[in-house]
Amino acid sequence: MLDTPSQAHEALVFEGGNERGRYVAFCLPPNSRSLTLWPPDIMCHPEAASDIKTHLARAFEEYSAERVFVPNVGHHSGLIVPRESFDVEVALTDRTLVRVMSAGQADGCALGETQGFAMSTRGCALVVASGCEHMVAAHAGLGSLVDQKRIRTGRPSRTREGIIHAIAYDFTRKGIDLADVSLDVLFSIHPDEFRYPLDHPEHIDFNAKLFSWLEENVGGACVNRKMGSIDIAAIATGFAAALGFGHVSTKGTLRSTDGFALTGEARNLVGVVRRA
């Protein structure tokens, strides 16, 4: 199992996929100096990114990743983009390269063998879908899963509801039956720690709309009105099941008591590598 640089808390590591595409995914809690959220282009500035590079190198070299894609996930765009969109390449080590986006937004991309995907999070999930030799990795925060602007204004802000629907489209446009695709949701924040209080003095109207929409379109299991909590993993798996993915699972829910960053400035490092 991977160790974090501080040795204070253990990483979570899971294997998954199928016979046509296997992966290893990991979530590292922050080290003692804190891994903070960074813009993707910081990888182009070695003097500002030494801690991040050390984190990435230790994690991805262990699993023999040759190229790691780091999308700009901060906008929760719900988009899967071609790997060619990652147009800036930075040497992480003499064996591993990082590719970032000089412009644009993305939540995910397809992965070839020995390719990886990295993001920093405070409990947003990692989604990995695999089937028929195709694999997609993606960030799945609440705003990535659900078009919150549409819930707020009544007007859609994007073509598809969210990242699970984008992943479904990415497979079906290749002629792949979703019944042959497995979708895993990893490292999401525990719902007890993800609160949208229905009596919030500033957001009471939106939170009420959000809960009602989720109950109607995903199911009551993804919200707890009494606690004012939302289950990101349940939203992702609910959408995936409704869309017809053949196998859906969740792994590795995060709690702050286990050392993972769920509030504040620190972030966890989340990554996945497709096996050769």
Q: Which residues pair with 97 in a beta bridge?
A: 67, 91
Q: What is the pLDDT averaged over residues 73-92?
A: 92
pLDDT at 42 over 50: yes
Write down the mean pLDDT value for the chain: 88
Residue 102 pLDDT class (50, 70, 90 cuts): confident
What are the chain's domains? 12-186+244-274 (3.60.140)
> Tokens 């296997």 appear where?
22
**Would you state the structure tokens that stand for residue 121, as one six-digit string?**
């999070």
pLDDT at 31 over 90: no
* pLDDT at position 46: 52
Q: DSSP states of 24-91 as a string?
A: EEEEE---TT--B---GGGGG-GGG-HHHHHHHHHHHHTTT-SEEEE---TT----B--GGG--EEEE
Higher-scoring residue by pLDDT: 143, 52 = 143
**Would you state the structure tokens that stand for residue 203, as one six-digit string?**
């957001």
Residue 30 pLDDT class (50, 70, 90 cuts): confident
> Tokens 């939203």 appear where?
235
* pLDDT at position 23: 97
**pTM attached to this predicted model:** 0.91
Specify the pairing of strand 67-70 against strand 88-91.
unpaired
pLDDT tens string 247-272: 999 999 999 989 898 987 788 889 99
Cα three-residue angle 152-157-160, rounded to 5 degrees: 115
Count of residues in the chain = 276
Using a 10 angstrom Cβ sphere, with 0-12 exposed, 13-18 middle and 19 or more buried, the burial of residue 164 is buried
pLDDT at 214 over 80: yes
d(CA 117, CA 178): 22
pLDDT at 1 over 70: no
* pLDDT at position 92: 82
pLDDT tens string 173-206: 999 999 999 999 999 999 999 999 999 888 999 9
* pLDDT at position 5: 35
Q: What is the pLDDT averaged over residues 65-75?
A: 92
| Helix ranges (DSSP H) in 130-198 | 142-145, 148-153, 163-172
Instruction: Indicate the angle between helix axes 232-243 and 163-172, nearest 10 degrees.
Output: 30
Residue 40 pLDDT class (50, 70, 90 cuts): low
- Produce one character per residue of 23-60: b if its CB has 16 or more CB atoms within 10 Å, e if not: bbbbbbbbbeeebeebebbbbeeeeebeebbebbbbbb
Residue 3 pLDDT class (50, 70, 90 cuts): very low
pLDDT at 65 over 90: yes
d(CA 37, CA 3): 20
* pLDDT at position 53: 73
Stated as kind and residue range, the H or E segment containing 140 is strand 134-140
DSSP 223: E
